[in-house]
A = this chain, B = another copy of it.
Amino acid sequence: MGLVVQKYGGSSVADAEGIKRVAKRIVEAKKNGHQVVVVVSAMGDTTDELIDLAGEVSPVTSGREFDMLLTAGERISMALLAMAIKSLGHEAQSFTGSQAGVITDSVHNKARIIDVTPGRIKTALDEGNIAIVAGFQGVSQDKKDITTLGRGGSDTTAVALAAALDAEVCEIYTDVDGVFTADPRVVKKARKIDWISFEDMLELASSGSKVLLHRCVEYARRYNIPIHVRSSFSGLRGTWVSNQPQGDQPMEQALISGVAHDTSEAKITVVGVPDKPGEAAKIFRAIADGELNIDMVVQNVSAASTGLTDISFTLPKTDGRRAIEALERAKASIGFDSLRYDDQIAKISLVGAGMKTNPGVTATFFEALSGAGVNIELISTSEIRISVVTRKDDVNEAVRAVHTAFGLDSESDEAVVYGGTGR
């Protein structure tokens, strides 16, 4: 039996009962002969409460001090979890990100891991302890300041530790049974995926699936760490994310992994752009200078009579205002007529390996949408993904139609749903 890294999110340790339930599950793994490293998030609403407090004393809720504040959250949950495990008669020690050797860059609030030196964790394991590590946090390499890793930080901590400790598997415990072929709240017949490749999981994550974040999957793929996403409530086998089906995992792999949707983006259309080389570059330079990330980009066919074209792109709604401002500032140098902002859109993505080499897939996808009376506004494709932008009102019907068209519907009528997912 080898080393297992388990990660528990905030909803799994929301209160004393949750902490005690998780402690029992951890002790089980230890009793089964594993060395166990646990990564834990802050309890339930702790982080939100700290953010509220910060808002009461300062208009600026970011930077070094904000990280110092937020990291108190995991400190509380990890210490309580260690105490709960000890009360079950097993030895446990908790470690901050810094103590666990999670070394990051100095970008506060969204630091990136640049090294993991888990010497103290190894010692704790060798001495027979269960090691509890604070997720979401690290220490900056140059200034030795406490940093936080931003969204999906705890999952990334878990995968990074699994890689550094050469773990057998990184188990991500959450409040759903695994990764589904579509969001079970939208598609009642969505099926739990038993196994999915890193690549397909990356595409699903970029396309709106919220169970695992892109960043964590990317890290796992780079170091080839199998991830097992499963419920901390049910104890059932969940979804394995890895290079290839392993051991008792089913060898068959469906061509199509799943359907993802995303309603968190907005569309900006830059109207009346001179259709000559370099114009698009100016637009995206203005966006990049504002440190804004864009998703899909489409340039319309130019109307030959005017020599002008329209360029549309999507980006997170939360960045919408800043993107509009950045473009307005650069209006003179870029040269365009006007901007259109539309936040009533949805993105629907079909993800599966070998899609490009199966022309029928694209046809079936569009036929399904058309059959459901859904209009397509933008299209973007990759090797293993097709995404379209539609009206937001059409999203549920569109996802269901595509899910059925690709034979993803389960036999049973109802998927098991436990609620939303944590960070």
Which residues of A approach B to under 8 Å, CB–CB? 16, 19-20, 23, 50, 53-54, 56-61, 64-66, 68-69, 71-73, 75-76, 78-84, 86-87, 92-94, 99, 120, 144
Q: Which of A19, A71, A83, A94 has the most CB of B within 10 A?
A: A83
Q: Give the contacting residue for A82; candidates B16, B68, B86; CB below 8 A.
A: B68
Contact B75 A16 (CB under 8 A): no
Each complex incorporates copies of this chain amounting to: 2
Given the interface contacts A19-B57, A87-B58, A99-B144, does A92 sit within 8 Å of B80 by beta carbon? no
Query: Could you list some 8 contacts between A and B, CB below 8 A?
Result: A19-B57, A23-B57, A50-B76, A57-B84, A58-B80, A60-B83, A66-B79, A72-B72
B contact residues around A61 at 8 Å (CB): 83
| C-alpha spacing A86/B73, complex, angstroms | 22
- Interface of chain A, helix or strand or loop or mixed? helix
Across-interface contacts of A75 in B (CB, < 8 A) = 68-69, 71-72, 75
Q: Which residue, of A16, A58, A78, A99, has the highest number of chain B Cβ atoms within 10 A?
A: A58
Q: Decide: A53 and B93 in contact? CB cutoff 8 A.
A: no
Instruction: Report the Cα distance A68→B134, complex, angstroms.
Output: 11
Determine whether the beta carbon of A94 is less than 8 Å from that of B78.
no
Contact of A65 among B68, B69, B83 (CB under 8 A): B83
Residue contact A57 to B72, C-beta cutoff 8 Å: no
In the complex, A41 Cα to B76 Cα: how many Å?
Answer: 17
Q: Are B69 and A57 neighbours in the complex by a CB distance under 8 Å?
A: no
CB pair B53 A76 closer than 8 Å:
yes
Task: State which of B65, B78, B81, B84 has its C-beta within 8 Å of the C-beta of A79.
Answer: B65
| A208 → B minimal CB distance (Å) | 34
B residues near A68, Cβ cutoff 8 Å: 75, 78-79, 82, 94
| Contact flag A65-B53 (CB < 8 Å), given A71-B75, A87-B60 | no
Known: A69-B76, A75-B75. A57 touches B20 (CB 8 A): yes
Query: Bound state CA distance, A165 and B294, in angstroms?
Result: 50
Write the nearest CB–CB distance from A59 to chain B, whole angstroms.
Answer: 6
User: How far is B17's CA from A56's CA once the two chains are assembled, in angstroms?
Assistant: 8
B57 close to A16 (CB less than 8 A): yes
Min distance, Cβ A196 to any Cβ of chain B, angstroms: 35
A90 to chain B: closest CB distance in Å? 12
Which residues of the other chain, B, contact A19 by a CB distance below 8 angstroms?
57
The CA-CA distance from A57 to B13 in the complex, in Å, is 11
Residue of B nearest to A71 (CB): B75
**Cβ contact within 8 Å between B65 and A92:** yes
A171 to chain B, nearest CB (A): 22
Q: Which of B58, B66, B82, B86 contacts A84 (CB 8 A)?
A: B58
Q: Once bound together, how far apart are the Cα atoms of A422 and B38, in whole Å?
A: 36
- Smallest Cβ distance from A82 to chain B, in angstroms? 4
> What's the Cα separation between A72 and B66 when bound, in Å?
14
Contact of A69 among B16, B69, B79, B86 (CB under 8 A): B79
CA gap between A59 and B20 in the complex, in Å: 12
Does the CB pair A58–B72 fall under 8 Å?
no
